[in-house]
């Protein structure tokens, strides 16, 4: 029997899953369409080689470079086709204006008040909304192109160790150049140096932020069209396929590992080098803008910026591990993941800092230090959860966990092809407290870099609410999937680790 070590839980940091927040907010009732090649799910450490039977629609796709991709005879969805398509279309049409409204409410005379924005829209209707939507400009286009080109060059040219991702269902194993930390440091040092030497003032980015988001929204939409066409005409590998439905193919994507040439991986660029890098760049931008405006940086902004930078630093330190997660090894390159990384991450994830620019809060040394230390502790625990799990997997369950031999369950399961495999399930350390305990420090870290804004308005906490809904929903779906996969072994696992997320409560 083949032994496989499976990560049952979500990674410590993922790139945004747009549909889940709108699932609850818009009551659309649709999960994202999941796609599988030749009846098999994408194989990677966090998920089994068997498709989820309970929460994932199944689209069996057949195709390669040499044969036309065809749709399977039967397409199954969790909900009715009407609800499924209505949900996807809602996300395609509502997510871009939401980003614009978020920026407008936080940075203009609306003063961060949702009620003021609602009153404005109620009084002025559609025309009022169109009037507040900033138009893409040449300057915003130039800023985005220069930034994107700079990050693309760093991705290609900086040295780094070659690492490999998981083997795909069609037998492909992608390779990557692990130079994320170097690219991150070069980016931040260059950005600050351009400001300090008077070559480029980052406040220009903030002053034209609405135009930049608009340009990103439209430009990313066009980029997703490019990915759709490329997936049909020139897929980079056999890990590609079509459902036969243009909406699903555009929304969910055609290719698992799209590349330009042999070395430029598109998903690494969109998810890591553009999306996550922009989180750090914009955090610095907001801090510099407040300094330029007020001659000083409030302690609330310092706490917010520092915690977010530590968090993003952790991501790039762990970037090679991220390439084994669902975002890269399972989710295809379509609107769902790429638009989210190119637009949603720079706007929503950075929104607490965006709010603090014009709403500085003097926390005082004692409170600021308390929030900062608490945030650092949460980020460390989140990191240590992942480290503990990765070390357990790397040593085939022989590593020490909190100084002791790990408690574990050796489970077996049967794949779709009838092959019996085995997995080790860790039931001690952080993973003995709850099945998804690492979500707790993840959420608390986001809370601690947001709470310096205090509680005058709800909107700065949108990202925290987004994260809670997303992770609680994912925890339930992970449990459903593993219950279907492991059967009696999963029941034994739940008997040992009784709580889903919060020890003693839930």
Q: How confident is the model over 52-93, as pLDDT tens digits?
A: 322 333 333 434 443 333 333 344 454 567 777 787 888 888
Q: What is the pLDDT of residue 380?
A: 96
Q: What is the pLDDT of residue 70?
A: 37
- Helix (H) or strand (E) holding 88, with range, is helix 81-107
Q: How confident is the model over 106-160, as pLDDT tens digits?
A: 998 788 899 999 999 999 999 988 998 999 999 999 999 999 999 999 999 999 9
Kindly give the pairing relationship between strand 264-265 and strand 408-414: unpaired
- Regions in the chain scoring below 50 on pLDDT: 1-76, 78
Kindly give the pairing relationship between strand 2-3 and strand 420-426: parallel
Answer whether 136's CB lies under 8 Å from 218's CB: yes
- In the chain, the percentage of residues whose pLDDT exceeds 90 is 63
Answer whether 110's CB lies under 8 Å from 178's CB: no
Q: What is the pLDDT of residue 14?
A: 39
Answer whether 291's CB lies under 8 Å from 297's CB: yes
Q: What is the pLDDT of residue 414?
A: 81
323: nearest Cα among 120, 147, 501, 178: 178
Q: What phi, psi does 275 have (nearest 5°)?
A: -65, -60
Q: What is the pLDDT of residue 203?
A: 97
Mapping DSSP to helix (H, G, I), strand (E, B) and coil, where does residue 362 land?
coil
Q: What is the pLDDT of residue 417?
A: 67
């Amino acid at each position: 029997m083949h032994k496989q070590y499976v990560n049952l839980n979500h990674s410590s940091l993922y790139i945004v899953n747009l549909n889940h927040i709108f699932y609850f907010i818009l009551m659309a009732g649709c999960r994202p369409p999941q796609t599988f090649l030749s009846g098999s799910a994408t194989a990677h450490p966090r998920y089994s080689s068997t498709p989820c039977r309970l929460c994932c629609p199944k689209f069996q796709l057949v195709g390669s470079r040499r044969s036309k991709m065809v749709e399977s005879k039967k397409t199954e969805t969790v909900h009715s086709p009407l609800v499924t398509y209505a949900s996807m279309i809602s996300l395609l049409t509502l997510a871009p204006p939401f980003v614009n409204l978020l920026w407008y409410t936080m940075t203009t005379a609306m003063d961060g008040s949702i009620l003021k924005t609602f009153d404005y829209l109620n009084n002025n209707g559609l025309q009022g909304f169109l009037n507040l939507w900033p138009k893409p400009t040449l300057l915003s286009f130039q800023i985005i192109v220069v930034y994107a080109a700079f990050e693309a060059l760093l991705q290609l040219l900086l040295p780094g160790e070659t690492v490999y991702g998981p083997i795909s269902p069609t037998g492909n194993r992608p390779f990557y150049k692990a130079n994320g930390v170097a690219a991150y440091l070069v980016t931040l040092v260059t950005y600050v140096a351009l400001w300090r030497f008077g070559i480029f003032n980052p406040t220009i980015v903030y002053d034209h932020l609405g135009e930049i988001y608009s340009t990103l929204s439209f430009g990313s939409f066009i980029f997703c069209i490019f990915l759709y066409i490329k997936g049909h005409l020139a897929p980079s590998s056999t890990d590609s396929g079509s459902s036969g439905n243009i909406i699903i193919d555009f929304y969910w994507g055609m290719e698992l590992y799209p590349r330009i040439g042999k070395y430029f991986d598109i998903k690494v660029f969109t998810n890591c080098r553009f999306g996550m890098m922009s989180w750090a760049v914009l955090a610095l931008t907001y801090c510099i803008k407040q300094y330029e405006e007020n001659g000083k940086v409030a302690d609330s902004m310092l706490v917010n910026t520092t915690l977010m930078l530590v968090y993003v630093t952790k991501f790039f330190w762990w970037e090679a591990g991220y390439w084994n997660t669902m975002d890269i090894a399972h989710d295809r390159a379509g609107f769902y993941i790429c638009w989210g990384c190119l637009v949603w991450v720079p706007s929503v994830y950075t929104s607490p800092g965006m709010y603090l620019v014009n709403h500085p809060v003097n926390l005082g040394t004692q409170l600021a230090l308390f929030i900062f230390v608490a945030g650092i502790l949460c980020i460390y625990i989140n990191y240590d959860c992942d480290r503990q799990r990765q070390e357990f997997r790397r040593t085939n369950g022989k590593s020490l966990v909190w100084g002791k031999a790990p408690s574990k369950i050796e489970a077996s399961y049967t794949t779709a092809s009838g092959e019996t495999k085995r997995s080790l399930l860790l039931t001690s350390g952080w993973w003995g407290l709850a099945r998804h305990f690492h979500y707790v420090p993840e959420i608390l870290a986001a809370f601690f870099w947001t709470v310096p804004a205090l509680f005058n308005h709800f909107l700065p906490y949108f990202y925290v609410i987004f994260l809670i809904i997303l992770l609680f929903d994912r925890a339930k779906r992970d449990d459903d999937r593993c219950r279907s996969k492991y059967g009696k072994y999963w029941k034994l696992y739940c008997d040992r680790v009784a709580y889903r997320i919060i020890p003693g409560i839930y």
